[in-house]
Amino acid sequence: MGKAKKTRKFAQVKRVLNIKDVKQKQADKSKDQKKVRNVPLTSSALFFKYNTALGPPYQVLVDTNFINFSIKNKIDPVKGMMDCLYAQCTPCVTDCVMAELEKLGQAYRVALKMAKDPRFERLPCTHSGTYADDCLCERVRQHKCYIVATCDQDLRRRIRKIPGVPIMYIAQHRYSIERLPEATMGGAPRV
């Protein structure tokens, strides 16, 4: 009987703790402790999801396509808003919406003329860029005293994520509103 062969085990090395490993674990723990969650502050005007800052006369932020659909459905914006909310309304147009209407050219000249109506309040924008959807969302996040009037599904989806902001849209050839409790109690259409 001979001697049994010993097979070497390759790639097995004892794991030795290094000083750098310990320091790296401590650095990872301190990074985890320094992370601060960014939680947006809720407005003091909100009672649960009910916005107490809204009241007549309502300020309605109007989007580009809302003006276009109002023209297609032959609805006067100021009269239609008063019929929907049973209160005085001030339609507001931001600079971004005006720039968007001007970019659309001759096809939307009637909408541009309607937006320049003296009954519409003009709101200046301080940010860079002319994308109206971002402008409206940011303005509504900062000041929850507006109703947003739009027919754009993507913008409506974005605004639904902001608590306490009602949305006005066109349904069945008239204006309708969602997330404004006292409007539907008064007889505004529920769609």
119-156 confidence digits (pLDDT tens):
999 999 988 877 899 999 999 998 888 999 999 999 99
| pTM for the full predicted model | 0.74
pLDDT tens, 100-123?
999 998 989 999 999 999 999 999
Q: For residue 16, is it left (φ>0), alpha (ψ between -120 and 50) or beta?
A: beta
Q: What is the pLDDT of residue 11?
A: 61
Handedness of CA 90, 79, 51, 166 (dihedral sign): negative
**Burial class of residue 16 in the structure, from the number of CB atoms within 10 Å of its CB (0-12 exposed, 13-18 middle, 19+ buried):** exposed
Half-sphere exposure of 31 (CA within 13 A, CB side): 6
Higher pLDDT, 123 or 185: 123
